[in-house]
Structure 1
Amino acid sequence: MRIVIAPDSFKECLAADQVASALARGWAKAAPRDEIIEVPLADGGEGTTVALTEALQGELHSVTVTGPMGEPVVARYGLANNSDTAIIEVAEGSGLHCVPPDERNALSASSYGTGELMLEALAHKPKVLIMGLGGSATTDGGAGILQALGAKLLDKEGNSIPAGGIGLGKLASLDLQPALDALGNTRLVVACDVNNPLTGPNGAAVVFGPQKGASIQQLIKLDANLAHFARLAKKQGWDISSFPGSGAAGGIGGMVAGILGAQLRPGIELVMETVELESHIKTADLVITAEGAIDNQSAYGKTPAGVALMAKKYGVPVVGFAGMLGQDFSALQTQGLTAAFSITRGPMELQSAYAQAEANLEQCAEQLARLTHALSKGD
């Protein structure tokens, strides 16, 4: 049999290549003669830089940038095609995983480090800069990125506004030309995994703020500050809020598209295209995908949905594994997912689930291989 393993990462637990390797080891235990193809994926969040750089046979570079709470963090960017293509992701410089849960502060978390990462990549003068948006700790509308690129975001006294979404409330004037000059002639392509608007009940703050440490009162403040930013930008002719995806990564989606002129693309589609997943799936007997959670949101631009839709095109069955399985993923099954299973063996603390994830993935893949081959013998 020909088995294609195409998972995403398990957020804050395992990288996509680790998930793929665990599943491959498990399958090989039960069916060592099968052909197993590992294709780690990402949908714009954690792992996008590695997945795309490796797919393009490029090189990863590590630099130290300013983390979301002001601390130094080591972030990676990729270069490929003789440095004509650069790859970065928000999760590397401004990711939620960079901040311990008890230290998360949605009001002051800044995207400044992502701007620094962009500058490092832009120093190589790439023709195209691919940027993944998922996994951010920030809700600052990309203000930190703009400041790192040289833009002036000033308060009424002419001082730079404070870091984070809280600073947007003090914003009185914008000089964005230095950021545009920093981008130069590089074309910006952005991998985005959500369609949320910038503000409102489905906006960046209200939907994603809680996981970044925001209280209800803080969500209201952040939403108002993002709206204030959008109004000031609009007065200067910049639209950062009227289109789907403007709320991605705490509003970075709106900023990069509306101000920096980025092309927003569904993250999973961009990654699948780059790694040439279709060429592997069309001749597969079975596809295995995986993500930290499979639920009613998975059908909307997430990795399992992208994989399922592509496999459905060729009539190939798809099995999904997840650390947590939601009560309703029927939309995903309509898209082509054959079945989904949780890898956890029973009720346990989150940290225990993280610690056992690799072994559990391996065990589940082994059991699936045993079942698959037993059923195929009965045909």
Structure 2
Amino acid sequence: MNTLPLHPLHGCWDLAASAIRAEALDTALALNLFDALVEPMTAAELAHSQGLHAANTAHLLELLWTLGLLQRERTEQATEQVPDRYALAPVARECLVRNAPGFCGDAWRYRLTSLRGLAGRLRAHVEQGPQLPENTFQSATGAGWAAAARAQIGQEQRAVSAAAALDIMDRLPQVQQARRLLDLGGGPGWIAIELARRFPGLRGVVFDWPETAAVAQENIEASGLAERLRAQGGDVASDALVDGEGKGAGEGFDLVWCSSVLHFVPDIAAVLAKVMAAMAPGGLFVCVHAELPATAEEAAQVMPFYLPMRMVGRHVLPEGGTAAALAEAGFVEILQFGSGRFPMSPVRVAVARKPKAPGDPMAAHD
């Protein structure tokens, strides 16, 4: 291990080097190198099979090894005649090989392209203020986002977010009794689909912008769950929320899942009031969002992903902010915990309950 003292600017230089690391992974995915390395081989063998430059392929594989994506099988005395062989590390085999169930390489490249574009506008944001179309908060809408929901975001949701959501639900025994689900801002619908598979008594709605809701409906039908789930298109800021059986306010959802939605809405309090109105008394609201921790070390895991959003006026609340907003909206029995299993940064999970009907002894206790 390197124990040499480092210059105080080392962290800044390391930031510059991160561009090379990202480019290395992007290159490997674009060239399908992880697929080719399902069986271990030398750099020369890989280069020959893929029509690449042998020496530079070796350099790339060595960098991927330093990132923990490859394992290097080194002989006691590696030479040109007895070169190193490279094999996939477990994370690459599970997530970066295209036919693997957990493949999310396209989703990672999509995030990289998006973050590069946002980073390129940071200076303009600082100098001139938000650089946005007229409707600041309209995001994740239209055909472009629907295409991403069908491909890259859908891939990420299937491979990562759905499993993370199930992990959260497994910590909440009361979910077993839920019967009517709202997946608010559910994108391609894979979280709702996996929840319906895990809890056979669950029925409900995936709510998102119309173009994205159409993608969710396709996925619901392809999953054979159209009798229990449906997608509803609309704007959470202006459209009504009704449950999967068409019931009205106060009769509806007894489980609401809401992940990374409140960042984008114009008025968090108004949306929470609308969700409250659409829930059944005693219903459970599971709200999952990135928040900004108070310490620099923890905030460093979050802020790079969300700084561009903050610069255009979107909401990234301080740690505990989601729970505080839920309490202000009238939700009770609020539980908070963290999760590091979602894409990009760690998130905070706030679980809350809608009070029971007025006059209920437990409502007074709330």
Asked if Structure 1 and Structure 2 have the same fold, meaning a TM-score greater than 0.5 normalized by the shorter chain, the answer is no
Higher Cα Rg, which structure: 2
Q: TM-score if structure 2 supplies the norm length?
A: 0.29
Q: TM-score if structure 1 supplies the norm length?
A: 0.28
